Structure 1
Amino acid sequence: MDTSGWIPTTREDGETVGYLEPVTADYGLVQPRNLLGHPVGGPAEFMEAEDLLIERGISELAGRWTLRGVADDLRDGVVILEASPDGIVVAHGDLAKAGIYGRRVRVGWPDAAGLLTRSATEAH
């Protein structure tokens, strides 16, 4: 997936909260995406999409996630340790909660394949 046209969206404090992917060449219509690169709703006008990402923030990253395509020990209940264009790093949620990260897995960014999904107990 070509992310070269994506525009980072930041809060007033400079924290990146997501990205705007152009749907039209003039960026009049964009697809808002969270920090993992997952779509957030449907395409919207630039300012509307930017406001949506700022309002959502990054709190969803704090929850538990399900990781497809890995061994059972990491499949359900992983937490996100890092999320950036360099990759998404996850570890077992229970171990991370105890301060022991154990095995870490790097998922490519953006997660266009949808390998990471919200755990059923964490979904909004």
Structure 2
Amino acid sequence: MIPQHWLEYRREDDDELIGYLSPGDESDGVYTPMTVFGYPLGDAGVYPDAVAALESTGLSYLADRWTLRLDGAREPIAVQIVEANPDRLTVKNVDYGHDGNIGDLFTLEVPVSQALSR
């Protein structure tokens, strides 16, 4: 589940949630732009820069190919996002080199761990 102290960021024109701003130390005034499932979209920066990172990316990251490191696997596998929300992330296997079946689903806790990457 997304931490309560993260700030929701919604598109102005349609009020769609496109991510979060994760505040750093309250005294430093920096924020890290995060996806709706808690993956960092860039480096921490001042509020306007973090907002600009979210706005320029939008929800395009949902269409990206991601990699998922499975416990016991030698190499990460290629996955695509099936469903993303503040509670959980579901991805599917799209890696023909993986022993599992194409389309196998994996559900991840949010915010996601370092097992998922772009």
Query: Which aligned pairs between 1:20-39 and structure 2 lie closer than 5 A?
Result: 20-25=21-26, 28-39=29-40
In 2: Cα distance, 1:78 partner to 1:20 partner? 25
Question: Structure 1 residues 14 and 93 mapped into 2: Cα distance closer, same or farther (>3 Å)?
Answer: farther
Q: Are the counterparts in 2 of residues 9 and 54 from structure 1 also a CA contact under 8 Å?
A: no
Structure 2 unaligned spans of 5+? 96-101
- Measured in 2, the distance between the counterparts of 1:55 and 1:70 equals 34
CA RMSD of aligned residues (A): 2.7
The count of residues paired between Structure 1 and Structure 2 equals: 110
Under a length normalisation based on structure 1, what TM-score does the superposition of the two structures give? 0.73
TM-score norm. by structure 2 comes to 0.76
1:55 aligns with 2:34: no
Moved over 4 A (4+): none
Structure 1 unmatched ranges of 5 or more: 95-100, 119-124
Kept in 2: contact 1:27–1:46 (CA 8 A): no
Which residue number corresponds to residue 106 of structure 1? 107
Cα shift at 1:102: 4.3
**Per residue, is there more helix in 1 or in 2?**
1
Percent of residue pairs identical: 35
- Tell me the distance in 2 between the aligned counterparts of 1:27 and 1:7: 16
Residue 64 (structure 1) aligns with:
65
Q: 1 CA distance for matches of 2:19 and 2:30?
A: 16
What secondary structure is seen at the aligned counterpart in 2 of 1:42? Answer: coil
